[in-house]
Amino acid sequence: MLRLIATLLMLAVSCVSHAEPVLLGTWKSDKQRTLAFAQARTKLEHKTFLFLEQIMGQMTLTISKDTITSRMPDVPIESADGVKSNFVGSVESHPYKRLGGTQTEIAVLTKEPFTGRDSIVVHHFVDSDTMWIYVAGTAMPNLHIREYFVRVK
């Protein structure tokens, strides 16, 4: 009997430690973590960093069992030259298909924002409520940064 309990306990611990992270929920862009990564690990032009500094931390992702919705509000911005304008926000929803996962990553097939092209996105989990995605694509092929998100719901 004691051996059975020990075996069941080992199986339970084994299953928990190999569980994939949960993608479902509402995620808010984490400005502080995103900019810290960009500053430490990228070679962005000053004007690009200034732009990111103004728009990061604004986007919200809502992920259901089959749809990813991104919400970006309008954001007042100022260029490196001091020109003020308005970054026009958007709301986009695209279906996604889960391709696979590990203890720290989930890969999905979805559509790129704005272009609608097929795109594989890997969500990298720092912990159960913090993840990052690689920000690049046809619209921004040379950006090479991580945008961090924290779960808010």
Domain count, the chain: 1
The CATH number linked to 61 is: 2.40.128
Q: Assess if residue 9 is contained within a domain.
A: no
Q: Assess if residue 142 is contained within a domain.
A: yes
Q: Is the pLDDT of residue 12 over 70?
A: no
Q: Assess if residue 3 is contained within a domain.
A: no
- What does the pLDDT look like over 61-73, one tens digit per residue? 999 999 999 999 9
Q: Assess if residue 2 is contained within a domain.
A: no
Q: Is the pTM of this model over 0.75?
A: yes
**Which domain range does residue 90 map to?**
21-151
Q: Assess if residue 128 is contained within a domain.
A: yes
* Residue 19 banded pLDDT, cuts 50, 70, 90: confident
- What does the pLDDT look like over 78-110, one tens digit per residue? 998 999 999 999 999 999 999 999 999 999 999
Q: Assess if residue 7 is contained within a domain.
A: no
pLDDT of residue 143: 73
pLDDT of residue 42: 85
Q: In sequence order, what DSSP letters do the residues of the chain get, joined into one string? A: -HHHHHHHHHHHHHHHHTPPPP--EEEEE-HHHHHHHHHHH----HHHHHHHHHHTT--EEEE-SSEEEEEE--EEEE-TT--EEEE--EEEEEE-EEEEE-SSEEEEEEE-TTT--EEEEEEEEEETTEEEEEE-SSSSTT--EEEEEEE--
